[in-house]
Structure 1
Amino acid sequence: MSATRWEVPLPAERGDGPQRIVAQVAEPARAPRAVVLIWPAMAVKASYYAPFCDELAALDIASVAADLRGQGESGPRPGRGSRHGYDELASRDWPRMVAAVRERFGEGVPLYLLGHSIGGQVSVLYAAREPKGVDGLIFVAAGSVDFRGFPGLSGLRVLLSTQLAAVIARLWGYFPGHRLGFAGRQPARLIRDWAKIARTGRFEPSGADVDYAERLGDVRLPVLAVSVAGDSLAPATAVERLCATLPSATVERWRYEPAEGVRVDHVRWVRKGAPVAQRIRAWADGL
């Protein structure tokens, strides 16, 4: 099934806003029973999710996979002049896309946010700002980067690597992940927010105009939290840390254990996502 390119304009703010958010839309042959707005992981383009979106469409679920600001076709490219972090994504990009999806598919179609990795972390902040903005949250391979959520020495590695990334971003003016082979090119503020979560476990992005920590307790949305076998970047313990930021939400947990001979991890699950799509359909039908 071929996806349709969709460009959603987003005016600049303080000279640093993206000119557009570009998404890939996949629709089922019949009227959709639900729509899923997918927010990717760092350095993962929306087009990468095409096979997974096809699996959803086969189950009568429409999907909108959006490139994160500065990734894929969404602009502008992060550089030394970039000033956005988690708060700007949660307060501007997420609401704009939610409104656009609602307008395109209609208010009567249930809308769920699917966050992969950082996409899940920002979706938590969006829900704190707009606790009734969507009908539910789906985390797939999305955990808190809090180092305490990683077993053994891997927690120490997470702590050290995230803090080093923040130092590099501060000195360089942005994070040159495209040169270092990890996380892609990212704005310094985003990396500092990410490193702060790793260090403190608290979702307190810089420049925020609301107290996210206080508002998170008021989110009562249904949540489907999917951990993936072989995922060292978002193990089940880290996924649980992310779920714990929403103490009033109704969370259903599921672990994706692929069939024998099928290898998945933090990113590869997307290309073998039929079981995940089926679980989402069953969860949504249950709601």
Structure 2
Amino acid sequence: MQHEFLQVDATTRLAVRRYEPEGPPRASIVIGGAMGVRQSFYEPFARWLAAQQGLRVWTFDYRGSGDSRPGASTLRGFEADLFDWVRDYEAVIDAAKAALPAQPLYLLGHSLGAQLPGFLERPGQVDGMVSIAAGSGYWRENAPRVRRSILYFWFVLVPLATRLWGYFPGRRLRKIGDLPRGVILQWRRWCLNPRYGVGAEGEGAARSFSRVRFPVLALSMTDDELMTLAGTRSLVSFYDQAPRAIERIAPADLQVPRIGHFGFFREQFSASLWPSTVDKLHRLAAITAAEPPRVPHTTA
């Protein structure tokens, strides 16, 4: 693993980790992380992809988070929104493609990491995306446990805490993690709109998602404590010009008690979910554009 810094613009450097296989890479994978999740969370999976599957893997922390957080202890006054995070994502994609231009480049998006690619300016560089536990964040499509408290979160806690601290102090509140003011307030607008970011940002956002033509495969966990199948269907529908499909995965398929929103990345799945997902990555091109999103009963 190599720790690097990627210069996005004159004032922004991203903390990036690159995992190299022993031999020539078969393809590149950029892992787009979930909201408030540090890139170190994905390290076991990234190491496995490089060592066992011969893939060059890139992970990163969005500006203002993880190792890309500014040196000051507070995010007060730090300016960033979700479109800045899209630019961060695309900067890593650009670097990955430039480093290995002749091989396929795939995205593996966890939650938010499967939402932001709809806003890419250059989606033609990407050969396919596997979405893990991702969907629209519209509050009515949240899982029941989340939905019970989400209106308090969006209408009381977020506005009040962000106003008081100048950013969202998620670590202090034990909610998500620390987030720049612009990120949390824009995300709030998205989550309160029935069409999520596409609805909140208007026709330009819809056109952006429609520019995506790479195949999208969404893996939806039946026991996801945050995301519902309805939310996953909504997100997949935004990629309306892309070949796309949904596959449901249940813990019983793997004879385990739990997968949930974060469990995919646990090493316990290195002999089951992980290899099957790599197989699906390489088969993404076989998903035809004529097919509507489909939901098989289960898949391993």
- Scaled to the shorter chain, the TM-score interval is 0.7 to 0.9
Q: 2:213 aligns with which of 210, 215, 220?
A: 220
Instruction: Give 2:135's aligned amino acid.
Output: G
The count of corresponding residues between Structure 1 and Structure 2 is 275
AA of the residue aligned to 1:52: F
Deviates more, 1:197-206 or 1:79-88: 197-206
Aligned counterparts of 1:154 and 1:72: Cα–Cα separation in 2: 25
How far residue 86 of structure 1 moved from its aligned partner, in angstroms, is 0.9
Distance 1:33 1:210, change over 3 A: farther
**C-alpha deviation, 1:131, in angstroms:** 2.9
Equivalent runs, 1:1-287 vs 2, <5 Å: 3-12=1-10, 17-18=11-12, 20-57=13-50, 58-76=52-70, 79-90=75-86, 92-104=87-99, 106-126=100-120, 129-150=121-142, 154-155=146-147, 157-167=149-159, 168-200=161-193, 201-203=195-197, 211-258=204-251, 259-271=254-266, 272-274=268-270, 275-286=272-283, 287=285
Contact 1:32 1:61 in 2 (8 A): yes
Say whether the 8 Å CA contact 2:117–2:123 is kept in structure 1: no
CA distance 1:253–1:217, shift in 2 (3 Å) = same
Write the letter of the residue equivalent to 2:281.
Answer: A
CA distance in 2, matches of 1:23, 1:210: 33
Q: Distance in 2 between matches of 1:256 and 1:69?
A: 32
In the alignment, structure 2 segments of 5+ residues that lack a partner are: 286-300
Work out the CA distance in 2 between the residues paired with 1:220 and 1:239. Answer: 18
Shift of 1:79: 1.5
Displacement of 1:111:
0.8
Show CA shifts across 1:245-269 (max 9, x none). 1111111222333422353222232
Specify every segment of 5 or more residues in structure 1 that has no aligned partner in the other structure, as ranges.
Answer: none
Kindly provide the amino acid, as one letter, of the partner of residue 246 in structure 2.
Answer: R
Once the 2 structures are TM-superposed, how far is the Cα of residue 156 of structure 1 from its aligned partner?
5.1
1:238 CA drift (Å):
1.7
3-state DSSP class of the match of 2:123? coil
Deviates more, 1:258-267 or 1:140-149: 258-267
Q: Residues 170, 251 of structure 1: CA spacing in aligned structure 2 closer, same or farther, 3 A cutoff? A: farther
The TM-score, its normalising length taken from structure 2, stands at 0.82
In structure 2, the CA distance between the partners of 1:55 and 1:278, relative to structure 1 (3 Å rule), is same
2:158 counterpart letter in structure 1: A
Paired amino acid for 1:176? P
For 1:281 and 1:257, how far apart are their aligned partners in 2? 18
In the alignment, is the contact (CA less than 8 A) between 2:4 and 2:16 conserved in 1? Answer: yes
* Contact 2:137 2:196 (8 Å CA) reproduced: no
AA aligned to 1:267 is: F
Asked if the contact 1:163/1:195 (under 8 Å) is kept, the reply is no
Distance 2:62 2:75 in 1: 15
Distance 2:55 2:181 in 1: 36
Change (3 A) 1:195 1:165: farther
Q: Distance in 2 between matches of 1:54 and 1:257?
A: 25
Q: Percent identity?
A: 29
The 2-side partners of 1:159 and 1:68 are apart by 26
| Distance apart, 1:64 and its partner CA | 0.9
For 1:161, give the aligned amino acid: F
Deviation of residue 60 (structure 1)? 2.3
